[in-house]
């Protein structure tokens, strides 16, 4: 554990992720959030995903932070983490938290707050399609129509 902490302190992202996993397994969620945050901010996609999970379910904090979880899921999904796209689509589907937005095509972006107005499978496909398109460049996800982003 001491060697991992030393390596993580020197900026090794995989050591940060290992520490996150150890603390998560031990149910030491405050420490898990700390190391997941450091790994996510350093750009590790897997750490971004797990930070989203911790924030989504409120582990290691007083209450869940759904908008922040959605933001980290989005970054992880854009980096190719499939579970992140699925979790993000699930958030849209069940309307977990105010301020989480459903990515509908055509520029409509309603705020969901428990109404279930977004379709899970459709949203998941849109999230995955959009994250793949973002890798191709700005506006690619709009498929030839005027892009609102």
Q: Is 19 helix (H, G, I), strand (E, B) or coil?
A: helix
The rounded distance, in Å, linking the Cα atoms of 56 and 54 is 6
| Confidence (pTM) | 0.67
pLDDT digits 0-9 by tens, 130-147: 655 665 555 544 444 444
pLDDT at position 126 is 58
DSSP states of 46-96 = HHHHHHHHHHHHTTTSSS--HHHHHHHHHHHHHTT-HHHHHHHHHHHHHT-
Chain-centre distance for alpha carbon 47: 9
- C-alpha 89/C-alpha 148 separation (Å) is 20
The tokens describing 78, both together, are: 């854009």
Residues 6+ positions from 77 with CB-CB distance below 8 Å: 84, 85, 88, 127, 128, 131
Residue 101 DSSP symbol: E
CA angle, 54 as apex, 58 and 49 as ends, to 5°? Answer: 150
Q: In this predicted model, what pLDDT tens digit does every residue of 18-63 receive, in sequence order?
A: 999 999 999 999 999 999 999 999 999 999 999 999 999 999 888 8
Please report which confidence band the pLDDT of residue 70 belongs to, taking 50, 70 and 90 as the band edges: confident
Q: Specify the higher pLDDT residue, 9 or 94.
A: 9
The residues that bridge with 26 in the sheet, in sequence order, are none
pLDDT at 51: 94
Q: Look up residue 69 and give its two tokens.
A: 């979880």
């Amino acid at each position: 554990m001491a060697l991992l902490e030393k390596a993580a302190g020197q900026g090794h992202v995989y050591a940060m992720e290992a520490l996150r996993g150890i603390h998560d397994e031990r149910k030491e969620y405050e420490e898990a959030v700390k190391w997941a945050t450091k790994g996510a901010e350093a750009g590790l996609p897997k750490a971004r995903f797990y930070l989203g999970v911790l924030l989504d379910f409120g582990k290691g904090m007083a209450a869940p932070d759904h908008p922040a979880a959605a933001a980290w899921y989005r970054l992880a999904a854009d980096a190719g983490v499939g579970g992140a796209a699925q979790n993000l689509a699930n958030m849209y589907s069940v309307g977990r938290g105010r301020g989480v937005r459903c990515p509908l095509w055509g520029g409509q972006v309603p705020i969901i707050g428990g109404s279930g107005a977004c379709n899970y499978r459709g949203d998941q496909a849109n999230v995955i399609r959009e994250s793949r398109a973002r890798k191709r460049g700005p506006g690619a996800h709009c498929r030839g129509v005027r892009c609102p982003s």
